[in-house]
Amino acid sequence: MAINMETGKSITAQELSEQGILKPKEVRQLISEEKITCPTSGMCPGYAQANLVVLPKEYAYDFLLFTQRNPKSCPVLEVTEEGDRFLRKIAPGADIASEIPKYRIYENGVMTGEYTNVERFWRGDLVSFLIGCSFSFESELIDAGIEVRHITEGCNVPMYITNIECEPAGVFSGKMVVSMRPVPYHQLVKAVTVTEQMPRVHGTPIHIGDPSVIGIKDIAKPDFGDAVPVNPGEVPVFWCCGVTPQSVVMNVKSSFCITHAPGHMLITDVKNTELKN
Amino acid sequence: MAINMETGKSITAQELSEQGILKPKEVRQLISEEKITCPTSGMCPGYAQANLVVLPKEYAYDFLLFTQRNPKSCPVLEVTEEGDRFLRKIAPGADIASEIPKYRIYENGVMTGEYTNVERFWRGDLVSFLIGCSFSFESELIDAGIEVRHITEGCNVPMYITNIECEPAGVFSGKMVVSMRPVPYHQLVKAVTVTEQMPRVHGTPIHIGDPSVIGIKDIAKPDFGDAVPVNPGEVPVFWCCGVTPQSVVMNVKSSFCITHAPGHMLITDVKNTELKN
ipTM attached to this prediction:
0.78
- Helix segments in chain B, DSSP class H: 13-18, 24-32, 60-69, 135-143, 149-153, 188-196, 243-252
pLDDT value at position B29? 96
B220-267 pLDDT, tens digit each: 999 998 999 999 999 999 999 988 988 898 888 899 999 999 889 999
- Chain B residue numbers touching A76 (CB-CB < 8 A): 68
Q: Which fold has domain B2-134+247-275?
A: PSTPO5379-like (3.40.1640)
CATH of domain A137-243: 3.30.2040.10
Mean pLDDT of A201-211: 93
- The secondary structure of residue A215, as a DSSP letter, is T
Q: Domain B140-244 maps to which CATH number in 3.30.2040.10, 3.30.420.40, 3.40.50.720, 3.90.1170.50?
A: 3.30.2040.10
pLDDT: which is higher, B128 or B132: B128
CA dihedral B161, B164, B166, B168 (to 10 degrees): 110
Does A68 contact B68 at a Cβ distance shorter than 8 Å? yes
**Greater pLDDT, A242 or B145:** B145
- Report the C-alpha gap between B200 and A57 in whole angstroms: 28
CB of A98 closer than 8 Å to CB of A117: yes
- Pick among A55, A63, A65, A82 to test the B interface (most B CBs inside 10 A): A65
Element (DSSP H or E) covering residue B126: strand B126-132
**Chain B from 61 to 100: CB within 8 A of any A CB:** 61, 64-65, 67-69, 76, 79
- CB contact A193 to B (< 8 Å): no
A positions 220-259 inside 8 Å of B (CB): none
**A79 pLDDT tier (thresholds 50, 70, 90):** very high
If you average pLDDT over residues B88-104, what whole number do you get?
97
So where are chain B's domains?
Answer: 2-134+247-275, 140-244
pLDDT at site A227: 96
- Using CA atoms, how far apart are residues A110 and A112, in angstroms rounded to an integer? 6
A246-269 mean pLDDT: 91
Q: Is A145 exposed, middle or buried (0-12, 13-18, 19+ CB in 10 A)?
A: exposed
SS3 content of chain A, % helix, strand, coil (to 5): 30, 30, 45
Contact B76 A64 (CB under 8 A): no
Q: Exposed (0-12), middle (13-18) or buried (19+): which is A3, by Cβ within 10 Å?
A: exposed
Q: Which CATH number fits domain A45-134+245-275: 3.40.1640.10, 3.30.390.30, 3.60.10.10, 1.10.150.20?
A: 3.40.1640.10
Q: How much is the pLDDT for A51?
A: 92
Model pLDDT for residues A174-198, shown as the tens digit of each residue: 999 999 999 999 999 999 999 988 8
Q: Are A79 and B69 an interchain contact pair (Cβ–Cβ within 8 Å)? A: yes
A-B C-beta contacts closer than 8 Å:
29
Contacts of residue A195, Cβ cutoff 8 Å, sequence gap at least 6: A137, A140, A141, A202, A203, A204, A205, A239
Angle between helices A60-69 and A243-252 (to 10 degrees): 140
Helix or strand holding residue A139 (H, E)? helix A135-143
| B29 Cβ neighbours under 8 A, 6+ residues apart | B99
**Predicted confidence (pLDDT) at residue A107 exceeds the cutoff of 50:** yes
Q: Is B149 exposed, middle or buried (0-12, 13-18, 19+ CB in 10 A)?
A: buried
Q: CB B60 to CB A60 under 8 A?
A: no
At residue B62 the predicted structure's pLDDT band, cuts being 50, 70 and 90, is: very high
**Among B11-20, B33-42, B66-75, B156-165, which is the least confidently predicted range?**
B11-20
Helices (H), A160-242: 188-196
